Amino acid sequence: MDRVKALARIDTYFQTGKFESDLNRRIAFKTESNLPNSVNALQSYLDKEIAPYLSAMGFSCTIYPNPITDAGPFLLAHRIEGADLPTVMTYGHGDVVAGYDDQWKNKMSPWNITKNDNRWYGRGTADNKGQHTINLAALKTVLETRGHLGFNITVLIEMGEERGSPGLKEFCTLHKELMKADVFIASDGPRIQAEKPTIFMGSRGVFNFTLRLDVHSGGHHSGNWGGLLTNPGIVMAHALASMVDRNGKILVEGWRNNEMPNSVREAISKLKVGGNEDDPKINSNWGEPKMTPEERVFASNTFEIRAFETGNPKSPANAIPPNAVAFGHLRYVVGTDVEKLMPLLRAHLDKNNFNDISITKERDPMLATRLNPDHPWAVWIVKSLSKTTGKNIAVMPNLGGSLPNDVFASTLSLPTIWIPHSYAGCSQHAPNEHILETVSRSALRMMTGLWWDLGAEDTPYRRR
């Protein structure tokens, strides 16, 4: 009955507007980490909002500077209840992308919540302030209902995830002893379907790079020089065509990877991508051949051109442009040797006579991670979420996108389980970012039930 009381308490928390109030207060911090002059806002979010909230729950909180110069700080908080209890680590990020203040529909402000039917708009509602607000509120509810959590917990909040988490690996390496745990449980990213409770246990890695070809010192009139000078845009287009065919199949030798364990294949067979109202229409013939759409996005490497420019697209001139540049990236799964990606691409371009095209790695790649769906922690968490929701839980071996999960899975050697509270159509990096009210209410109950079960006397992870 106490579990029922905890779920009723979290329902009241939502119904009385306290969830909206907590989230709205956090949205108001303009923590745009990818913009200059954001340092004060990033620090204030931890100093004035998260640290006081956790301290009131009996956490000891310390805010650390980033080991990387000019990157956002970290908050590390602990609540220790007993050496015989399981320890969980949880995580969130308080930074957001740029607000794009003048681009939101109906002149909405990104810095406070605007509700429209099931949608709650605001920068950070989905990524990630809404998600860690749900998890922390559920913790607080269990504490208020039971009087204690029944487990130990470490909370890490970073303020630079939208910049690629600079300093996160260094910070976790430096303070590894303070982050010892039995399991990592956190929330970010989207559910596979808006109303389908989901967990994922890792993420694909991402390798971002720039291709550039400089041919001339300036543009040259095509009437005088056409047919005599190399056009870098045409050369770059052919180089890209040599890397991927017209249906999205990767042609760079060594870049494809479609191997998957049977447990991963079985889990993916139960998933369905797309089909929601706001989802784009899937091209069933695009990508890795002889794979389902779900296998392509969760279990294979995919190559994308993010941008391609030559000349001046906004004001085209009748001239041969001086250069061409293409921005690409490879999303890749476990089993791909990331150290070989640049050399393999260089060898491919040279083999196809594109020796003059330079390659620049944009930043250190996020590494691919995956936990098998039959891992004991995954099985236990699925059981708890099913008990609360009465639904089957979608189990994704890894997210199709990328998160700094390699830091937790590899550097800290933790089994990692993510429970996302958003959905793919949330516009998380664009104007009009939003969460869904129905998903938020469901997520609050799910996390309350999960934290409750973790602290129960009969949890299999209680040490004897």
pLDDT digits (tens, 9 = 90+) for 238-285: 999 999 999 999 999 999 998 888 989 999 999 998 877 777 899 989
Residues in CB range of 56: below 8 A, 6 or more apart: none
- What is the per-residue pLDDT for 327? 98
pTM of the model: 0.89
**Does 212 have pLDDT greater than 90?**
yes
**Does 457 have pLDDT greater than 90?**
no
- What is the per-residue pLDDT for 112? 97
CB 204 within 8 A of CB 332: yes
Q: Tell me the mean pLDDT in the region 41-60.
A: 98
CATH topology of domain 2-203+369-454: Aminopeptidase (3.40.630)
Cis peptide before 66 (omega within 30 of 0): no
Within the chain, all domains assigned CATH 3.40.630.10 are found at: 2-203+369-454
Distance CA 410, CA 208 (A): 21
- What is the per-residue pLDDT for 462? 60
Within the chain, all domains assigned CATH 3.30.70.360 are found at: 206-257+301-361
The chain-wide mean pLDDT, for the chain, equals 95
φ/ψ of 86, rounded to 5, equals: -65, 150
**Does 363 have pLDDT greater than 90?**
no
**Does 464 have pLDDT greater than 60?**
no
Strand partners, 121: 114, 434
Residue 331, helix vs strand vs coil: strand
CB 207 within 8 A of CB 200: no
Residue 136, helix vs strand vs coil: helix
Distance CA 19, CA 22 (A): 5
Percent of the chain surpassing pLDDT 70: 99
Q: Tell me the mean pLDDT in the region 351-378.
A: 93
CB 26 within 8 A of CB 92: no
- What is the per-residue pLDDT for 280? 85
φ/ψ of 9, rounded to 5, equals: -65, -40
CB 400 within 8 A of CB 297: yes
CATH-assigned architecture of domain 206-257+301-361: 2-Layer Sandwich (3.30)
